[in-house]
Structures are given as structure tokens and as C-alpha cells.
């Protein structure tokens, strides 16, 4: 039979239209509408942000221990420089790393695959979201070049510091650029959330019922719902703040406010209003950062322990419940801000209620791996690290949820320790687990096969990071309990009893700084691993982790080894994920896309 | 001889082109009106098809969902502003003599707002007529067959009327601002006027975007090649327009009666 007598001409044209690639490289890589490319773009954006954010945190640590040190090319770190470091570290990490990488990066890269779709619902909107985020990052970084420096009011931008341009260096143009950057980011996140929600609602393949959705997808979906609600409110708050700064209103500036020698006589403004609006965004934001990691943890633990997730419906429910309760707890950030004591009690109760679904999740994870004798591959190690850090950081949650304890602890390093363990470190461990697990998908292109990251380097990276994370953040509980305040540029040379107390924490401070440097250096094996494995890593088999979820479906791979015209094959799902046979022969499992009951 | 004619399976599979914008949208395969069955007989159901081949309603449904979730986010945006309104209204301070001072002086709304509201409600009516013209079964079938563009032709005047009413509303809002400025009530005057100008201003920006969407839909009636795309343009713009009308009614009641 000659090729001309192809019996299915429509097949060829169909696959042509799917595989058709735009000719120019900038359409293919820069302004691509392909979810795979956009996901990688988001991850690269987050990588830039995390590199800068980490450097800034190291500068903060160095300044706390050696306040007189002179920075090359900059000079000594002044108090306003320190506050600027705090602001940019927080803004970069919260917005451009912990929101961007799990939700937008891996959300784009993996989510469509896991529901058996080949596109997001609105590909062009997706590209627009990414580029708005990129412009937002550029705007934020541009703020550091403002004449009087970057803004100093923290990532939370509390007024009146943030509302009055003369309130400090960097609060004029620097603050305006900060506002513009975060407003752009809010718009991008809202658009991205709409895209994610509609994709999950409308683009699931045949057979992919709600209960068959992987828990990762539930995590992304819940986080997208939260993004939609939270970032809209943040945008409104930013608008009010902008009006306060430039239109002469006083939404947030109270009457009789004396800032830097300037009296503001009129206005009903209330700084507390900003706190309400901001934390109505800010707390769901925490869950936007961590929910995808929680979903990933469930799926990865099930995968490596070759067990079904116990109580799959309960796990879906706890994901949604954590998201829902996350909207109701914003007041626990405001216990010391002059909140009505009755409101504090209500927020305290709702905050402790969140411990219930969170505990259910942790117990579920522990039960999943308990005596399962898993193979300790790097993704599993990082997932277990996630559980460990989530537990350690989570245990201080109910302590801080008590208004009376929070009175003492709120402005100390105890809170820094709490949220760096539960949000920052757990979030980053989730990202590392995702990177090691999905690297074959990340690295596979149409002309190159997907590769695995090196295991020895991965183990080195894991142990270095785990030890570094605990060594850095656990002692902060102690310095916090000893009274070390946060947002203070300098802890030495303080007169009186306070200075005496703080001087006692100085040895621990030095230890924290060394540990932070160690933690940063522990990332070198990771970068080495990324660079090396991208070209020279072991070529990954089609389903390297014997997973059951659809991202490993042969028809969704973009590798040269996949079938000639794979993209056209209809994807159908036959069962819930995690159908691993409990028999000792661990090679037997049933992926979601395989029909019948015959194990592979 | 079988009573029903079954479509040849291979032919049906060939139609399953899982591509976002190359599915069935009435470009010679499926009429854009039937939303329920796949039309292949034998319990053929479009919901069972792969994505991109679920019939003409699929793309419309996707865009509608997108617009509805965007509007849900937008609703939260307005909810945030309205809650700030109530907080500001209730808050005050104690002066040096321990008197509670609340500087909120209610802004009397210019009466032209009543007329504006009526115009906006009317514009929603015309918009809805335009939207329904796009989905008139008989006309949509004719358009799909290639017999002229009856839906577009009939929707065009109603859509144009909506744009005119929308622009009239915006002009009326500007007039209200102008009247207030003559009374020396400005954005910065008072906590109450902050919110009056903020709410009308933010809503006005949303309506400018809405007018832009309606004009895009009008242009789309002329330039969009497929009847389904024309339906989507009109449908989504009109749903956005309705929501802005509904938001305005609540915001107007707030400004008129709850200051």
C-alpha cells in the first residue's frame, strides 16, 4: 500500500492542525499560547524572583548580625534599606514565588494534562496573564531604582506609612511602583484563576468525573476559587490606597494623623479598614500558596507507597473546607491592631477550626505512608519534608490563634518562624517535590526525550535543604519567645533591659545567619542538577513513577518516542486515580486511562 | 433493514478533532441551534464527545463560564468597596473634649441619577432583545445554511440602541458629577463624597469597558466569519452589560437611600 492511498485522510489533516507550529521562534516560545510553554515561563519567572528574594533575605540576616558591615557597591545598610529589604523579600516571595510557581507554573504545566485536556480554556488569556505578571515583576524591580529607593512599608503596606508619600524614604515613587506592580499582579492572577476554573469545569475529558479528579487538581481548583475572591478584594484595596495617595481622599488616613511633621486634620479614615481589606486577601493568599502542595502531597504519597488515598471524598472535602475556612480567618492577623475583643474571639475560633481539616490531612498522609515500605526517591523525600514542615509550622498555629498569646508573640520572630515553616518552607518543598516528580514532563520537548533529575544530587539537595530549613527557622521560635522583635533594622546597641535581653539572643542570631547561608548554599546541588539533567540526565521511561494520573498518558507526551500522531487520540478515563494493586508485586497498577481490569 | 440509520463509526471518529477552535461550530456540519443531542441517533450525546467536538454550544458555554467567573470576581471588587463604605460611615474619632466626631456628611445625589438609572434599565432591555435575536432558532438556521445573516441583521439595531443608551448613561453620570462640582462637592470633600465619586467612577469605568465590548460585538456582527462567534460576542457582552446594570441598581440604592 502506498502512502498516497492513506485510508484516513481526515486523520492526517486533524493531526496537522493540532501539531501545527508557528514558524517564528517568538510565537513558539515567547508569546506562545501553549499551556506547556506558559507553565515553564511562569516557573522561570518564579526562579528569577526566588533568586533575588533569597539574596535579599541573606542581606537581612547579615545586617542583623553585623549591622556595621559595609555592602560593596552600596555602602552600609541603613534602617530604611533594611525595611526595603523586608518589603521586597516579602513581596517577591509571596506574590512572585509562592503564588506564581505552584498555582500558575505547575498549574499550567500539569493541570490540563491531569484532566485529559490539551489546552487551557482560554489560551490567549493565559498568555496575557503571564505577560502581565512579567510586567508586574519588572515594575516591582524598577521600584528599587526610584530616586529615594524602594518602598519600606512591607509586603502588607500598612497605612498611614503606605498612604503618605512623605512618611519615609521610598514611599513616594517607590511606593507608587509597588502599588502598580501589585495591581498588575492582581489582574493577572484573577485572569489566571478564571482560566483555571473554566478549564476544570469545562475541559475535563470523557469519564473524568469530579470524584476522579486527582487531588492536585482539587488543590489548584480551590486555590483558583480563592484567587478569584481574594485578588479582586486586594485590587479594590489598592485602588482606595491609590486614591488616598493621589486624589486627596482619606480612606485609610485618620484625622489628626501626624506623619513626619505633617498634620492631616480632616478625614474619617481608618488604618484598620486597610488591615481588614488586605488580610481578607492575605489569608486566602496563604492557602493559594499551600493548597496545590497539599494536593500534590496526597497524590505523591499514594504513588510512592502504592496505596489508594484513604477517604478520597474526605480529602476532597477537607481541601474545600480549608479553602472555605481560609476566607473566614483574616482577623487573626489583627489581634494586636485594636480589633474588637469579641471579633478576636470569633476569629480565634474560626482559626482553630481550620486545624480540624488540616489535621485530617496530616493524619491521612501519615496513614498513607505508615509501614508502606516506599522507595525513597527524591520526590517522596521532599513530600515527606513537606509533611514534616507543615506539621512543625502548623503546631504553632493554634498557639498564635489565641489572642492572649498573640499579644506577646505577634511582633516577634516567633511569627516569622511560624509562617516561614508552614508557608514558605512547606510551599518550597512542595515545589521541589513537583520539580523532581514532573521533571520528565518539564524537560521533554518534541525533539528531545524527557529526562530524570539525578537521584544522588537530589538526596544531597534534600538533606541539605531540610537541615538548613530547620536550623534556620526553629531557633527563631526561641529568639521570638525571648522577645526579638520583627521589622527592627538593628538589635544591637539598644540601651536598657531590652538591649540586655536581645544581647542574650545574639549567639542564636549568628547561628541563624550561618544556617541561612547554609540553606542558600544547599540549593547549589539543585541548580547543578537542573542544568546537568536537562541534557545529560537519565532518559525517563514513559511513566517513570508508575503513576496512575493522566499527565503520563502516552497521547499527552510531547516526546519523540511517543506515537507518530499522538495528539489526536481520544482520551477517556475509566477509574479514580491511585488504583495501585496492594499485592507485593509493585509493578501492577491501573492508570486512569486503561480500560478493563487487567493490571499493567 | 434496520429502522434507524446508524452513522458509520469511523466517520464519526474522524469528526473528533480535539482542537480548540476547529471543532463543530456550525461551519457546515452541525447547526448552531440544537443544544441537546449529538444528532447521530442511537443515544448519541454531545456530552460524551471529546472536547472540541461537543457541538455548537461548547464554545459558547466556555466563554459564558469565563464571563460569569470574571463577574463573580468583579462582584467581590464591588463588595469590598461597599463594605468599606459602611465601615467609613460608621467610624469616627474622639476629639480633645471627648466628643465622638463623625465627619460623614451624606452627599445628596443629583436627581439626574434617577433618569440615568432608567436609561440603564432600558439599555438592558434592548441588549436582551439583541441577545435573543442572535439565538432565534429559525434565523440562526438560515444563517448557518448561508442564507444571509438574519440574526446579525436583526440584532444590529438593538445592539446599536444599547450602545447609544449606554453612552447616554455615561453622559448623565458626567452631568451628575458636574452638578455636584457646581455645589463644590468634590472627590476629596468628605468621606461620603469620596465614596460617591469612587463608586460612580469605578462603575463608570466598568460601563466604558462594557460599551467597548458592545462596540466590539457590533463590529463582530460585521466581521466575524462564523455565526457561532457572532453569537458568543453578543451573548458575552450582553451578560456583562446586564450585570453592570444589576450592580448599578444596588449601588444606586446604596447611594440614594443608605447614606
Residue B73 is nearest to which of A228, A270, A567, comparing CB atoms? A228
DSSP A79-96: HHHHHHHHHHHHHIIIII
Strands A70-71, A262-264: pairing is unpaired
Q: Class for domain A23-590, per CATH? A: mainly alpha
Residue A206 is nearest to which of B48, B61, B92, comparing CB atoms? B48
Sign of CA dihedral B30, B36, B42, B47: positive
- From A259, A84, A283, A276, select the one nearest A164 (Cα to Cα): A259
**pTM of the shown model:** 0.91
pLDDT at position A21:
53
ipTM of the complex, rounded to two decimals: 0.91
Crossing angle between the packed helical segments A341-369 and A271-305, to the nearest 10 degrees:
10
d(CA A275, CA A154): 13
Give the DSSP H or E segment for A590: strand A589-590
Q: Mind spelling out the 3-state secondary structure of A327-362?
A: HCCHHHHCCCCCCCHHHHHHHHHHHHHHHHHHHHHH
Give the DSSP H or E segment for A258: strand A257-259
- From A510, A502, A501, A507, select the one nearest A69 (Cα to Cα): A510
Q: Which of A583-597, B174-188, B225-239 has the lowest mean pLDDT?
A: A583-597
Please name the residue of chain A whose CA is at the shortest distance from the CA of residue B81: A236
3-state secondary structure of A175: helix
CB B102 within 8 A of CB B87: no
Taking phi first (over 0 means left), then psi (-120 to 50 degrees means alpha), and beta for anything else, what does residue A9 get?
alpha
Residues 6 or more apart whose Cβ sits within 8 Å of residue B87: A270, A273, A276
d(CA A482, CA A489): 17
A-chain CB neighbours of B188 within 8 Å are 247-249
Furthest-apart CA atoms within chain A: distance in Å? 95
Band of residue B9 on the pLDDT scale cut at 50, 70, 90: very low
Crossing angle between the packed helical segments A524-536 and A455-481, to the nearest 10 degrees:
160
Cell of A474: 526553629
Residue A570 is nearest to which of B50, B65, B103, comparing CB atoms? B50
Pick the more confident residue, B162 or B21. B162
B86 pLDDT higher than 90: yes
Burial class (CB in 10 A: 0-12, 13-18, 19+), A110: buried
The shortest C-alpha distance from B157 to chain A (Å) reads: 30
Q: Do A203 and B51 touch (CB under 8 A)?
A: yes
Q: Which ranges constitute the DSSP H helices of A444-564?
A: 455-481, 496-504, 506-521, 524-536
CB A155 within 8 A of CB A53: no
Q: Which ranges constitute the DSSP H helices of A167-311?
A: 173-202, 215-246, 271-305
Residue B194 is nearest to which of A14, A125, A251, comparing CB atoms? A251
Percentage of chain B modeled with pLDDT above 90: 60
- From A125, A175, A131, select the one nearest A155 (Cα to Cα): A175
d(CA A42, CA A95): 12
pLDDT at position A394:
94
Burial class (CB in 10 A: 0-12, 13-18, 19+), A4: exposed
d(CA A405, CA A335): 10
DSSP A264-302: E---B--HHHHHHHHHHHHHHHHHHHHHHHHHHHHHHHH
d(CA A498, CA A534): 52
Q: How many CB atoms lie within 10 A of CB A265?
A: 8
Burial class (CB in 10 A: 0-12, 13-18, 19+), A575: middle
The answer to whether residue B82 neighbours chain A at the CB level (below 8 Å) is no
B-chain CB neighbours of A193 within 8 Å are 69, 73
Q: Do A202 and B102 touch (CB under 8 A)?
A: no
Mean pLDDT along residues B57-70: 92
Residues 6 or more apart whose Cβ sits within 8 Å of residue A465: A385, A429, A432, A519, A522, A523, A526
Q: Do A11 and B14 touch (CB under 8 A)?
A: yes
B16 pLDDT higher than 70: no
pLDDT at position B121:
97
Q: Do B101 and A255 touch (CB under 8 A)?
A: yes
pLDDT at position A132:
97
- Binned average pLDDT, 10 residues per bin, chain A of 600 residues: 37 40 71 92 97 96 90 88 95 96 96 92 95 97 90 93 90 95 97 97 89 96 97 97 92 86 79 95 95 97 92 96 95 91 93 95 95 93 97 94 94 96 96 96 87 96 97 96 89 84 90 97 96 92 91 81 56 88 63 71
CB A191 within 8 A of CB A128: yes
Amino acid at each position: 500500500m502506498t502512502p498516497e492511498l492513506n485510508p484516513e485522510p481526515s486523520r492526517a489533516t486533524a493531526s496537522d492542525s493540532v501539531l501545527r507550529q508557528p514558524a517564528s521562534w517568538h510565537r513558539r516560545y515567547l508569546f506562545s499560547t501553549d499551556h506547556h510553554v506558559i507553565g515553564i515561563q511562569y516557573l522561570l519567572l518564579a526562579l528569577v524572583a526566588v533568586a533575588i528574594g533569597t539574596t535579599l533575605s541573606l542581606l537581612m540576616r547579615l545586617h542583623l548580625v553585623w549591622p556595621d558591615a559595609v555592602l560593596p557597591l552600596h555602602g552600609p545598610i541603613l534602617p530604611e534599606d533594611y525595611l526595603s529589604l523586608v518589603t521586597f523579600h516579602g513581596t517577591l516571595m509571596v506574590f512572585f514565588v509562592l503564588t506564581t510557581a505552584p498555582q500558575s507554573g505547575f498549574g499550567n504545566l500539569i493541570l490540563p494534562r491531569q484532566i485529559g485536556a490539551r489546552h487551557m480554556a482560554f489560551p490567549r488569556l493565559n498568555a496575557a496573564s503571564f505577560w502581565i505578571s512579567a510586567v508586574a515583576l519588572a515594575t516591582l524591580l524598577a521600584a528599587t531604582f526610584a530616586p529615594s529607593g524602594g518602598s519600606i512599608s512591607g509586603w502588607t503596606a500598612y497605612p498611614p506609612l503606605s498612604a503618605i508619600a512623605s512618611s519615609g524614604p521610598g514611599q513616594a515613587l517607590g511606593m507608587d511602583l509597588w502599588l502598580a506592580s501589585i495591581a498588575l499582579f492582581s489582574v493577572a492572577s484573577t485572569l489566571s484563576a478564571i482560566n483555571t476554573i473554566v478549564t476544570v469545569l469545562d475541559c475535563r475529558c470523557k469519564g473524568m468525573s469530579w470524584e476522579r479528579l486527582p487531588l492536585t487538581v482539587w488543590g489548584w481548583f480551590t486555590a483558583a476559587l480563592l484567587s478569584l475572591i481574594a485578588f479582586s478584594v486586594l485590587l479594590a484595596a489598592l485602588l482606595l490606597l491609590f486614591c488616598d495617595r493621589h486624589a486627596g481622599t482619606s480612606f485609610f488616613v485618620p484625622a489628626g494623623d501626624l506623619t513626619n511633621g505633617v498634620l492631616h486634620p480632616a478625614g474619617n479614615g481608618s488604618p484598620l479598614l486597610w488591615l481588614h481589606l488586605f488580610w481578607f486577601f492575605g489569608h486566602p493568599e496563604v492557602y493559594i500558596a499551600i493548597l496545590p502542595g497539599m494536593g500534590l502531597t496526597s497524590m505523591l504519597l499514594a504513588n510512592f507507597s502504592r496505596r489508594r488515598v484513604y477517604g478520597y471524598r474526605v480529602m476532597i472535602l477537607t481541601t474545600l473546607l480549608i479553602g472555605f475556612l481560609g476566607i473566614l480567618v483574616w482577623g487573626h492577623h489583627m489581634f494586636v491592631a485594636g480589633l474588637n475583643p469579641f471579633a478576636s474571639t470569633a476569629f480565634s475560633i474560626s482559626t482553630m477550626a481550620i486545624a480540624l481539616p488540616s489535621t485530617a490531612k496530616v493524619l491521612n498522609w501519615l496513614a498513607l505512608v505508615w509501614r508502606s515500605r516506599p522507595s525513597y526517591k527524591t520526590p517522596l523525600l521532599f513530600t515527606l519534608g513537606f509533611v514534616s514542615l507543615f506539621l512543625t509550622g502548623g503546631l504553632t498555629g493554634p498557639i498564635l490563634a489565641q489572642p492572649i498569646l498573640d499579644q506577646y508573640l505577634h511582633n516577634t520572630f516567633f511569627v516569622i518562624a511560624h509562617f516561614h515553616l508552614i508557608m514558605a518552607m512547606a510551599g518550597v518543598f512542595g515545589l521541589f517535590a513537583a520539580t523532581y516528580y514532573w521533571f520528565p514532563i518539564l524537560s521533554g520537548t518534541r525533539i528531545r526525550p524527557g529526562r530524570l533529575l539525578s537521584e544522588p544530587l537530589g538526596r544531597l539537595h534534600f538533606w541539605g535543604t531540610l537541615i538548613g530549613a530547620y536550623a534556620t527557622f526553629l531557633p527563631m521560635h526561641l529568639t521570638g519567645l525571648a522577645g526579638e522583635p520583627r521589622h527592627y533594622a538593628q538589635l544591637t546597641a539598644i540601651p536598657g533591659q531590652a538591649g540586655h535581653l536581645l544581647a542574650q539572643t545574639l549567639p542564636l542570631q549568628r547561628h541563624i545567619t550561618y544556617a541561612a547561608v547554609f540553606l542558600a548554599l544547599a540549593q547549589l546541588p539543585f541548580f547543578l542538577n537542573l542544568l546537568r539533567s536537562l541534557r545529560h540526565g537519565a532518559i525517563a521511561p514513559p511513566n517513570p513513577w508508575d503513576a496512575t494520573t493522566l499527565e503520563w498518558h502516552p497521547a499527552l507526551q510531547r516526546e519523540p518516542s511517543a506515537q507518530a500522531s499522538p495528539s489526536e487520540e481520544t482520551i477517556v478515563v475509566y477509574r479514580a486515580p491511585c488504583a495501585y494493586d496492594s499485592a507485593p508485586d509493585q509493578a501492577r497498577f491501573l492508570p486512569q486511562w486503561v480500560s478493563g481490569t487487567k493490571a499493567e | 433493514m434496520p429502522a434507524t440509520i446508524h452513522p458509520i463509526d469511523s466517520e464519526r471518529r474522524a469528526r473528533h478533532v480535539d482542537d480548540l477552535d476547529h471543532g463543530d461550530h456550525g461551519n457546515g456540519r452541525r447547526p448552531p441551534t440544537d443544544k441537546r443531542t449529538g444528532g447521530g441517533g442511537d443515544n448519541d450525546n454531545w456530552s460524551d464527545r471529546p472536547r472540541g467536538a461537543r457541538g455548537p454550544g461548547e464554545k459558547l458555554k466556555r466563554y459564558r463560564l469565563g464571563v460569569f467567573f470574571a463577574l463573580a470576581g468583579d462582584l467581590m471588587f464591588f463588595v469590598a468597596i461597599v463594605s468599606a463604605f459602611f465601615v467609613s460611615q460608621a467610624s469616627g474619632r474622639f476629639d480633645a473634649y471627648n466628643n465622638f466626631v463623625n465627619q460623614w456628611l451624606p452627599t445628596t445625589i443629583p436627581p439626574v441619577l434617577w433618569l440615568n438609572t432608567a436609561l440603564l434599565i432600558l439599555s438592558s432591555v434592548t441588549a436582551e432583545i439583541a441577545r435573543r435575536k442572535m439565538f432565534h432558532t429559525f434565523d440562526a438556521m438560515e444563517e448557518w445554511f448561508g442564507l444571509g445573516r438574519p440574526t446579525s441583521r436583526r440584532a444590529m439595531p438593538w445592539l446599536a440602541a444599547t450602545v447609544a443608551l449606554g453612552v447616554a448613561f455615561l453622559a448623565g453620570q458626567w452631568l451628575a458629577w458636574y452638578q455636584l462640582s457646581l455645589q463644590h462637592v468634590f472627590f476629596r470633600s468628605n468621606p461620603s463624597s469620596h465614596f460617591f465619586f469612587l463608586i460612580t467612577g469605578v462603575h463608570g469605568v466598568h460601563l466604558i469597558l462594557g460599551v467597548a465590548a458592545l462596540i466590539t460585538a457590533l463590529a463582530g456582527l460585521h466581521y466575524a466569519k462564523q455565526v457561532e462567534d457572532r453569537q458568543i460576542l453578543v451573548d458575552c457582552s450582553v451578560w456583562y452589560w446586564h450585570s453592570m446594570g444589576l450592580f448599578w441598581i444596588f449601588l444606586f440604592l446604596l447611594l440614594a437611600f443608605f447614606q
